[in-house]
Structure 1
Amino acid sequence: ALRMDKHVANTRKVVEFLVAHDAVESVSYPELESHPDHALAQTLLPKGCGAVFSFNIKGSRTAGRRFVESLQVFSHLANVGDAKSLVIHPASTTHFRVPADQLAASGLTEGTMRLSVGLEDVGDLIEDLGRALKAAQKGA
């Protein structure tokens, strides 16, 4: 329970940061009122919605790759639920051969990121994300 409490607390702060960032188009996390399953999540997950969520950065696949390559605290791995923070950019990894229009049809964009927030210091995580978002927008 203590580990999940820390995962959820860190995730809430990371989500809050991303929602307010100019380089982020959208954040999909069930605790946000904008999420289509918000009411259901409040009922089924009263202690929190976990540490895995997605968000979309502004820009192309190149911006997405630049974002991932600029991260120093988050590891670029496809698994989730680890004690360490992880990121995956589907458009340059699992879906790299899928054209943008087909990505969109499946609910992804070229800037979709999936995060699994770990137990590191949340200030370090937010600083890492901020630095990577800035790098991603250069020449986007």
Structure 2
Amino acid sequence: MKLGEHIPSFNLLDHKGNYFNSDEFLYKKYFVLFFYPMDFTPMCTKEVCHFRDIKADFDQLDAVLVGINGQSSLSHEKFARKHQLNYPLLSDRNAELTKRLGIKKTFGLITPRETFVFNKKGLLIEHIQSNKADVHIERAIKAIKKDQEN
């Protein structure tokens, strides 16, 4: 997916067993969709917990924060409960959204660490690809603040 392209509509199961429909927030909120490889791994745990700890900053920027990978909603539920996550984890079991955003899975199985930031018009304003979790948060916040200035 390229900068300036529109967010695709999606409807995925979250860690509470509810469907998260992107259209409910479209044109109302910024979207921060962060893809991470696996629940319960050290680096991914650090990343999701860092997003948890800074979620209030995203709330102040009027952004919806969502974690996504291909694991089941049951795995996400256990992971979210254990780490008291305060945002939805979505299950992209068939890699539908992953493919639509152009994410290439590692070894065809593992979702890479990528973040997509969409503005309130639904346009991609930042795409972050890095194994360093902190980079995703810093660049996502910076992109939203820059968009709000324009």
Please confirm whether the aligned pair reaches a TM-score higher than 0.5, indicating the same fold. no
TM-score by length of 1: 0.38
Output the TM-score relative to the length of structure 2: 0.36
Larger helix percent: 1
